[in-house]
Structure 1
Amino acid sequence: MDTPLTVYLTLVTASGSLNFLLGLYAYAKRHELVAARTLVAITILQGIYIFAFAFELSGDNLEVIKRWITVEYIGIAYTPVVGLLLVLQYTSRTPPRAALYLLFLIPTVTLLLVATNDWHHLFYKSVYFRPGAYTPLVDVQYSYWYIVHGAYTFSCLLVGIVLLLKQWRGTKRTYKGQLVALLGGQLIPIVTTFLYVIGKTPYGMDLIPFVLSLTTALYIWAMRSTGLMTISPIAKEHIVESMREGVIVLDLKDRLIDYNAAVRTMFPGQWQIAIGKPMAELWQDLIGLKGPLPGARPNGSEGMQEMKRPDARTGACHYYQVRYSAIRNRSGDTVGKLLMFIDITELKQLQEKLKVQAYYDGLTGIFNRTQFILRARGLLQRHRTRGMAASVVLFDIDCFKEVNDTYGHETGDRVIQHVVSVSRRFVTGDMLLARYGGEEFVLLLPEMELGDAAAYVEGLRASLAAESFQAPDGPLSVTASFGVAALSPDCESIEQLLRHADAALYEAKRAGRNKVSQWRQP
């Protein structure tokens, strides 16, 4: 065998061995590598191609050489596709499963056509020995499908290059070496193939099997020096992108530098064209939150605040907790700012629900007894200090037990709601209406003397008596008895007023119900 060919065969074999070592390394680090399976698959495919090519070079029979060419195309056809998958994994892109299957369609057809070429000659027209001491032993005259295969291979490599270049701007300087390595893995085969096609390679030799050792060496260097595809750098990207919290990165001049997917979901808008613009200008239009940019005040390097954002489509409000902190380099110098948006809408809704449960009666929606006493105590204190009048009314539904016994508790609840519905029409300004307990209610009438309060409540009593309730078997007359008490020098607390009003209520019931009774000093 000629010396140049022997050297070439040795280099090709070394390239195959290097691919094998890289595969072993990727397999050994499979628990640390996000794309371990893809890397191993690439090295296996490249190894099949390289070693099959070596056996082709050493063959001296056309039939044997054709069989090794078929084996070569296991690697040649599928390696560009698997390389593209590696790029997709690195750039955090996940195509639909159907699209992934389609990527392997043309390589599979290519392999079948190469294996059966002697029947149809669609891939290459002929394989023949080529004279010359410094050339590979055979040459191939390609046919139509080779053009399809070549275009598809070039497209896979080109798409990978475009995706990596798009990733360049958003990649931290520390990890740009990874992009360089991956770009090299896509570019070197393209350039080498082009040189081989135009006849610019030494001795006209196909250098692809040899340069694959360079690409694998590049991968090894990247894996060893910058941690290509290891959990550490990739997890940082995946953690930020998979966070439920929205993240925005600003520079020292509060210009938008980066953002994650969650913030785009929270605040849909033209984020891509907003890169590089001052966040203060984007705050209202892009984020839609009221108030100044968080952390914009002097010496405000970190902190937290809550913000409210109305939804223009539904009218509902969303609540966000915005945390802001300084980004510092290894020297401790501030180089930017990080804003984190946490959606606390559900928490706010829960708080409102608990507030309703703590303040309001669940059946009627009016104040409960505890909240009424707290609010009435403060209001009466102000009235007493200013020498103003105020009255308290206790009233309950007449014969309510009979309603429950006759119609059931569900109808009883509806009767209570009916009484509250009528009573609400008489509540204005600072008046307080509450459910005092069971079928009993309490009403605070600010700035009303005893007589005025009694006259006002008489209107409520009359309205209740006039508006019948629709029971299951027909209209039902619902009435109530009322007891009224007013502030006086010897009755200043809400507790005393309630006792006096209760005594007056008892008098109204004893007088025949459906009446208003005033408490008088004995």
Structure 2
Amino acid sequence: MPNEAFVYIVIVSLAGILSSLLCLYAYFRLKDVPGGKPYIFVTLFSAIFTFSYAVELSSTTLEKILIWLSVEYLVLPFIPTFILLMCLGYVGQKLKHWMSYLLFLLPILTIFMHATNELHHLYYTSIELNRDSPFPILKLEYGPWFYVHSIYFFLCFMMSMISLGMELRKTRLFRFRMQIILMVAGIMVPIIANYFYLNNLSPYGIDLGPVSMSISFILHGAALFSYQMFHVTPVARETVFENMREGVIVLNQEGVLVDYNHAMLNIISNLSSQCIGKPIVDVIGRGTHLAEIVLHEKECDFRSSLSGDNTYYHIRFSNVKNKYKFMKIITFVDVTERVDLQEQLQYLARIDGLTELYNRHFFMEESEKIVSSLNKKGGNVSIIMFDIDHFKSINDTFGHEAGDLVLARVAGVVKNCLRSHDIVGRYGGEEFILCMPDASLLAAEEMADFIRRNISQAVVRYSEKEITVTSSFGISSVLIRGEAVQATLQTLIREADQALYAAKRKGRNCVELFEKVG
């Protein structure tokens, strides 16, 4: 065997071995990922094609060469089809079933035309051995169907590169761009090789297609192993990661930003591609509340006011481990609706719907907190109870709607009179209660009388009538020095209630102190 033939046989055989190894790897690791199944067939058919061509180059007679040429053409016509399907799957473009079937029609016809060439000579017009080469090699004259197949070959490859090029324009991350560039380069190599072959520029007329496969699959192998082709494809990132409603940032083991999606821009405004590779706490801002949450991996709710309105996110942390390293995934889930609903429910649970004052239960809770805080430092606390005089007659005369208006108006007057740290609640019916921390009996009396006068001056208009009301007040006060909280509060309320009834007995529209009772 001439040395020239041996060199080409070795190169083609190495290409076949590489294709076989990639086929096995793809079968066990990539068959369920986008573009993975077509990639398995591409590498399998390429391996069969290259090994067959290696045997063809080692054959010494025309009959043996034609046998292996027939074997090559059982798989060769399908290679451009599967490369196109691989690229379309990689970028997330799914063909309809009838279009996929149509793609296989011409390769099947090519196999038929090649197998029956002796009957019509539409694929090869003549087949003979090249007398000028140092080893037996075919010299072919091409018929019209060969050019039909060649056009189909180039169209599939061009459509593959166009689909990858369109994805390249949308992808900003380096590793994804490198994946696509390596894939495009791997596709261009066979195109260039076939150009030389068809224009009689290859040595001795050798088909450079199988030889080019070695270079092509080295490039595909680089994308596969170095950049994890098909494991995290641009289509997965663009269609899933980028379009997630949840904000997601990806960190490496050292807390350095690796990736983020578009939704994160609504949470961290200064995120950009230049931030990738920087520590996340530097990107967020050291010492900020969010940086502390991320640094300590505290799963909690976080409020953001970046858009002007309060938006609440629930921050979750998860670790992902692959064969080589750990990655940390931080997810920001928008829980604004849930938080708003909780706040609304909490508001309804503590607020009286008619007067918008604390209801009795919540007033008692807040008052106990006030008394408890005074237990630690000491101080006065006063309780004022009052109700609207002759309220039943208002309901009987004007109706319950008018009575509701009166209750709401009185509540509004009281809220406008109180100090910022006083609290007021609706105790029941037309009865109200106030808790005044750090207020002596005299101060509480002055406040009660101030409220009484404002209520008497308030006017409620209903059905072209003006309604005025008066109110009666009872006050109790105590200087706290470590008494039991609940007992102190209950005693104050009971004493204020007794003082209120004393005010009613006295003629209403007045203020009575508990110390004056009896």
Give the alignment's TM-score, normalised by structure 1.
0.62
Q: 1:337 to 1:31 in 2, by over 3 A?
A: closer
- What amino acid sits opposite 1:139 in the alignment? Y
Q: Which residue of 2 aligns with 1:434?
A: 425
The 3 A distance-change label for structure 1 pair 43 and 170 is closer
Contact kept? 1:383, 1:390, Cα under 8 Å: no
Deviation of 1:406 (Å): 8.5
Q: Is the CA contact 2:19–2:46 (under 8 Å) kept in the aligned structure 1?
A: yes
User: Could you say what secondary structure the match of 1:444 adopts?
Assistant: strand
Could you tell me how far 1:456 is from its partner in structure 2? 0.8
Letter in 1 for 2:496: A
Amino acid at match of 1:82: L
Residues 173-188 of structure 1 mapped to structure 2, 5 A cutoff: 185-188=186-189
Structure 1 residue 84: deviation in Å?
1.2
Identity of aligned residues (%): 19
State how 1:240-255 maps to structure 2 within 5 Å: 244=246, 246-249=248-251
Deviation at 1:156, TM superposition (A): 2.1
Query: Contact between 2:371 and 2:381, CA under 8 Å: does it hold in 1?
Result: no
Equivalent residue for 1:467, pick from 416, 435, 460: 460
Deviation at 1:192, TM superposition (A): 2.4
> Structure 1 residues 197 and 83 mapped into 2: Cα distance closer, same or farther (>3 Å)?
farther
RMSD: 6.4
CA distance in 2, matches of 1:264, 1:490: 53
Distance 1:210 1:359, change over 3 A: same
Contact 1:49 1:75 in 2 (8 A): no
- What is residue 94 of structure 1 aligned with on the other side? 92
Work out whether residues 394 and 402 of structure 2, in 8 Å CA contact, stay in contact via their aligned partners in 1: no
Q: 1:186/1:198 Cα in 2 relative to 1: closer, same or farther (>3 Å)?
A: same
Does residue 482 of the first structure (1) align with residue 472 of the second (2)?
Answer: yes
C-alpha deviation, 1:442, in angstroms? 1.0
How far apart, CA to CA, are the structure 1 residues paired with 2:201 and 2:81? 26
User: Does the CA-based 8 Å contact 2:363-2:425 persist in structure 1?
Assistant: yes
CA contact (8 A) 2:315 2:332 kept: yes
The answer as to whether partners of 2:267 and 2:304 remain within 8 angstroms in 1 is no
Cα deviation code 1:124-164 (max 9, x no counterpart): x9963366533353325798997797366235236548968
Q: Which residue in the other structure is 1:340 paired with?
A: 330
Shift of 1:430: 2.7
Distance 2:493 2:259 in 1: 63
Change in CA separation of 1:495 and 1:416 when aligned onto 2, cut-off 3 Å: same
**What is the match of residue 207 of structure 1?**
208
Cα shift readout 1:304-351 (whole Å, capped 9, x = no counterpart): 387542133x43244564869999998xxxx99958353474465455
Q: 1:83 aligns with which of 82, 86, 90?
A: 86
Give, in whole Å, the separation in 1 of the partners of 2:19 and 2:368.
Answer: 80
- Find out whether 1:129 has 2:123 as its counterpart: no
Counterpart for residue 67 of structure 2: none
Cα distance in 2 between the residues matched to 1:162 and 1:19:
27
Tell me if 1:294 matches 2:296. Answer: no
2:118 is aligned to: none
Aligned residue number for residue 395 of structure 1? 387
* Structure-1 residue corresponding to 2:493: 498
Task: Indicate if the aligned counterparts of 1:23 and 1:44 stay in contact, CA closer than 8 A.
Answer: yes
Distance 1:256 1:14 in 2: 41
> What is the CA distance between 1:432 and its match in structure 2?
1.8
Secondary structure of the residue aligned to 2:138 is coil
Cα gap change, 1:227 to 1:344, in 2 (>3 Å): closer
The equivalent position to 1:424 in structure 2, one of 415, 418, 421, is: 415
Amino acid at match of 1:431: D
The within-5 A match list for 1:156-175 is 156-157=160-161, 160=164, 169-170=174-175
- Does the C-alpha gap of structure 1 residues 262 and 512 become closer, same or farther in structure 2, counting only changes over 3 Å? same
Q: 1:203 is matched by which residue type in structure 2?
A: Y
- Alpha-carbon distance between aligned partners in 1 of 2:432 and 2:478, rounded to the nearest angstrom: 22
Q: Between Structure 1 and Structure 2, how many residues are aligned?
A: 472
CA spacing shift, 1:295–1:371, aligned 2, 3 Å: closer
Is 1:521 aligned with 2:517?
A: yes
1:412–1:112 distance in 2 versus 1, CA, 3 Å: farther
Q: Deviations over 1:44-71 (max 9, x none)?
A: 88699999999xx9999xxxxxx99999
Worse-matched range after superposition: 455-464 or 14-23? 14-23
Question: After superposition, what is the alpha-carbon deviation per residue over 1:476-507, rounded to whole angstroms, capped at 9, x for unaligned?
Answer: 73635322214267999443332232223334
**How far apart are 1:462 and its partner, in Å?**
0.7
Measured at CA, do residues 80 and 267 of structure 1 come closer, stay the same or move farther in structure 2, by a change above 3 Å? same
Matched residue, 1:272: 273
Is structure 2 residue 305 aligned with structure 1 residue 310?
yes
Is this contact kept in 2: 1:161–1:186, CA < 8 A? no
CA distance, structure 1, for counterparts of residue 125 and residue 143 of structure 2 = 7
Q: Which moved more, 1:353-362 or 1:156-165?
A: 156-165
Q: Which runs of 5+ in 1 are unaligned?
A: 61-66, 118-124
Q: Is the 8 A contact 2:381 2:477 kept in 1?
A: yes
What is the CA deviation profile of residues 405-440 of structure 1, one whole-angstrom value per residue up to 9, with x for unaligned ones?
9856x8766654343233322223333211223442
CA contact (8 A) 1:383 1:389 kept: no
Change (3 A) 1:478 1:43: farther
Note the alpha carbon deviations across 1:339-379, whole angstroms, 9 max, x for none: 83534744654554465355444554333332342245257
The answer on whether the counterparts of 2:19 and 2:44 sit within 8 Å (CA) in structure 1 is yes
